[in-house]
């Protein structure tokens, strides 16, 4: 018999200690090392920072450190390619800030 498991049960264990990028419902982009999660998809990030996008200035990175994000505020979670990310010059990147997710 097939049982339906939540995606977090299948994917998140493989992302523990990996660098991930999280887009929240309020339009924030938070990057950090996934340290843990629970059944409500609350996640714990270590060495995290928020990337603030602007069309006039480069991407600013605000240091957050150890950070917990509530599961009901998470819109997208993705693994970050650290080699590619390290090669980018975020100070030259221009982009519109993300808008909040409307349900």
Closest CA to 52 of 62, 37, 64: 62
DSSP letter at 10 equals H
Residue-wise pLDDT tens digits, 42-84: 999 999 999 999 999 889 999 999 999 999 999 999 998 888 8
Backbone angles phi, psi at 29, to 5 degrees: -115, 110
pLDDT higher at 10 or 73: 73
Q: Are the C-beta atoms of 59 and 90 separated by less than 8 Å?
A: yes
User: How far apart are the C-alpha atoms of 59 and 19, rounded to whole Å?
Assistant: 18
User: How far apart are the C-alpha atoms of 77 and 22, rounded to whole Å?
Assistant: 5
In order of their start, the domains of the chain are 7-81 (2.30.30.100)
For residue 41, what pLDDT band results from cuts at 50, 70 and 90?
Answer: confident
Residue 27 has pLDDT above 70, yes or no: yes
């Amino acid at each position: 018999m097939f049982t339906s498991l939540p995606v977090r049960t299948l994917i998140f264990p493989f992302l523990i200690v990996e660098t991930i990028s999280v887009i929240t419902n309020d339009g924030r982009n938070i990057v950090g090392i996934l340290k843990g999660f629970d059944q409500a998809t609350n996640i714990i990030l270590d060495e995290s920072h928020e990337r603030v996008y602007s069309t006039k200035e480069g991407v600013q990175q605000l240091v957050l450190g150890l950070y917990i994000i509530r599961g009901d505020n998470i819109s997208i979670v993705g693994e970050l390619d650290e080699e590619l990310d390290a090669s980018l010059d975020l100070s030259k990147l221009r982009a519109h800030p993300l808008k909040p997710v409307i349900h």
